[in-house]
Structure 1
Amino acid sequence: MELFIVDEHTEHYLALQAGGDSDRGLLTGVLGGAGGCASVGLTLMLAMQGIFDPIMLTLGICLFLVPFLWETLRPLPLPILFNRRTREVYFDHDGELFHTPWDGISAVANEFQLAGAQIGSMQSASLEIRVCKFKQPEKALMISLGAPFGKSLALQKSFWEYIRAYMNNGPYFDEHGNHSESDSFVKSQLAVRFKMSDSFKHTLAHIKQAKKEAGGKNYLGSSDVAKLILEPMLYPLDRIKEFTYSIAKHRSRNLWPSVVTERLKANGPTTRLVDLE
């Protein structure tokens, strides 16, 4: 099972999200998608009436461009990388490279509960691996493969099996973890992650199914009507947010040291970092 943590699943490496900034692009989406589109739209309406307002157009462009540059130029936290070609794991900790060979690796899973007056009791489980600093193997870290909150031990074990299936049987595998030439099962796992820009499409599919089940009776509820009105209005915001995040993620890839980036290439070296040490 893929627990919405996998950022990239390729033939050569698996990237897991690490750190925060999952809301990167939201500011650009709000200002550029709402304010920017409104300003540009108003400018076009005035232009159709023979009135051109450069200030309004400039404002619309700035509402998108300024937050877009601010959010894309700031680096995202680098992911945890599982490299199939060299069979090792890479992790960046405050600009320092940590790694561990995959062969012989062990994962530690711990289950616990959080209890509080406001939240009640929440089941949680952590999943961690041990990595060592490059060229200083005496310095080690335990890194968490995703946040533990709200997860059970069974879910974390399931996610570890997903990683094991990728490294040992991958890059693609079936629902039993066995090697597969088809990527259909992997794509079905990755597709579970919800994208806000797809919400209107899901709403239409839900309404279509409700119409079919109603058999001609009134099948539209008040919430359906609200979604049909609001979701198309929020679509530009969501698409701009996702686009901004993808650009920021692409730029952050260049922050890896060359010993990592060259090993992520299809024709790169296959020696492990532990071999270089």
Structure 2
Amino acid sequence: MSVEIKQPRGLAHATSRIVLSADQPTGKAPMELFITDEHTEQYLSLQVGGGSDRGMLTGILGGICSSLCLVIGSWMALQGRWEAVIWPVVFGVPLFLAPFLWETLRPLPLPILFNRRTREVYFDHEGTLFHCPWDGIQAVAREFQIVGPYTAGMKNASLEIMVHRYQNPENALMVSLGSPAGKTLEMQKGFWEYIRSYMNNGPWFDKDGNHSNSDNFVKMQLSANIDQSQLLDHWRQTIAEKKAAADGENYLSGIDALMFLGHLMFYPSNLIQNLTYKIAKKRSRNRWPNIVLERLRHNGPATRLID
């Protein structure tokens, strides 16, 4: 089913609104907006709001509080006060296990999937499968301003597509491809070009969106989307680059030292948060219906759900 999205006249004065198509270039370079969950040869998945902070509670309680209890327990053991060692263990282990089990056992929101093989899009809404074919798809990009009493007008831009319920195409949803906060219309056009390049010319493409046998450009785009546990190594590399550029002169500023020590201190917490998120995501993958899971395999069916 193909639905044409038209510009409503009543909104023309209130917001900048354009309709983007799968077969029409936007004139912008492909740009990833830090919401890509997986970019593989078979599919591209985008994070859905509500799941990106999963693991934070475990990281805070497990990485900071439990580590503090471990340090206290080790200190007591070195002093020979074995009777006092048990209390940090009694408090520290539950502080890690309780949030870890709670966050990994709760299912994550399933991502939005763009399947290159079947050329269609999948979306899960509260356990109900929605989908739409890629060929003929249209997206709506809107730019609007939010004005508050203490801030000037802030530009935001949304990017949405329409999907239809499986075996009930009259039931449709408009799905947002990421949060509109902090994005401009030009950025959303670049992100749509990233998706277009993947579906039409991918899985690997160059800075102009043309097909490429190398994944260098895609890796460069995704490298900016680092998780919390990679911040320490990222800042260490930044300091190393400043050292090389300084040619023996004083290169380490106060903010460099502060940021490095801060990331070093929170590294265990960030590492636990990242691990918790990965476990929760792996457990959630099997929540897709079998008709979707089998189409995500490289040798699975290539038929579209609409057929």
TM-score, normalising length: structure 1: 0.93
Partner of 1:193: 225
> Over residues 71-96 of structure 1, what are the superposed CA-to-partner deviations in whole Å (9 max), with x where a residue is unaligned?
11111111100011111100111111
Aligned to 1:249: 281
Hey, what does 1:269 align to over in structure 2? 301
Could you tell me how far apart the structure 1 residues matched to 2:261 and 2:187 are? Answer: 37
| Code of the aligned partner of 1:248 | A
Aligned partner of 2:222: which letter?
Answer: L
Over 3 Å counting, the alpha-carbon distance change for 1:227 and 1:150 in structure 2 is closer
Identical-pair percentage: 57
Q: Distance in 2 between matches of 1:146 and 1:154?
A: 15
Structure 2 distance, partners of 1:168, 1:211, is 43
Q: What's the offset of the Cα at 1:199?
A: 2.5
- Alignment correspondent of 1:225: 257
Query: For residues 1-277 of structure 1, what are the structure 2 equivalents within 5 Å?
Result: 1-52=31-82, 53-275=85-307
Distance 1:266 1:213, change over 3 A: closer
Query: Unaligned stretches of 5+ in structure 1?
Result: none
Deviations along 1:225-254, one digit per CA (max 9) or x if unpaired, are 323433211100111111111111111111
User: Post-superposition shift, 1:43?
Assistant: 2.5
* Structure-1 separation of matches of 2:247 and 2:290: 62
What is the CA distance between 1:129 and its match in structure 2?
0.9
Divergent runs of 4+, >6 A: none
Q: Paired residues, what number?
A: 275
Higher alpha-carbon deviation: 243-252 or 226-235: 226-235
SS of residue in 1 equivalent to 2:50: coil
- The 3-state SS of whatever aligns with 2:142 is strand
RMSD of the TM alignment (CA)?
A: 1.7
Normalised by the size of structure 2, how large is the TM-score? 0.84
- Give the whole-Å Cα distance in 1 for the aligned partners of 2:208 and 2:245: 34
Measure how far apart 1:216 and its partner are.
Answer: 4.3
SS at match of 2:209: coil
Distance 1:219 1:243 in 2: 34
For residues 140 and 119 of structure 1, do their structure 2 counterparts lie closer, same or farther at Cα, with a shift above 3 Å needed? same
Change (3 A) 1:215 1:167: closer
SS in 2 for 1:173: coil
The letter of the residue matching 1:107 is A
1:11-66: CA deviation from partner (whole Å, max 9, x where unpaired): 10100111223211111001100111122233333334444423322332222111
Q: Provide the rounded CA distance (Å) in 2 between the counterparts of 1:70 and 1:58.
A: 19
CA distance in 2, matches of 1:88, 1:228: 44
CA contact (8 A) 2:143 2:156 kept: yes
Tell me, in whole angstroms, the C-alpha distance in 2 between the residues paired with 1:162 and 1:228. Answer: 33
Residues in 1 aligned to 2:247 and 2:133: alpha-carbon distance in whole angstroms: 59
Q: Cα distance, 1:217 vs. partner?
A: 4.3
Query: Match of 1:273, SS?
Result: coil
Aligned equivalents of 1:128, 1:230: Cα separation in 2: 38
CA contact (8 A) 2:55 2:273 kept: yes
Q: Distance in 1 between matches of 2:125 and 2:144?
A: 26
Distance 1:249 1:104 in 2: 31
Whichever residue aligns with residue 257 of structure 2, its letter is V
- Shift in Å, 1:185: 1.0
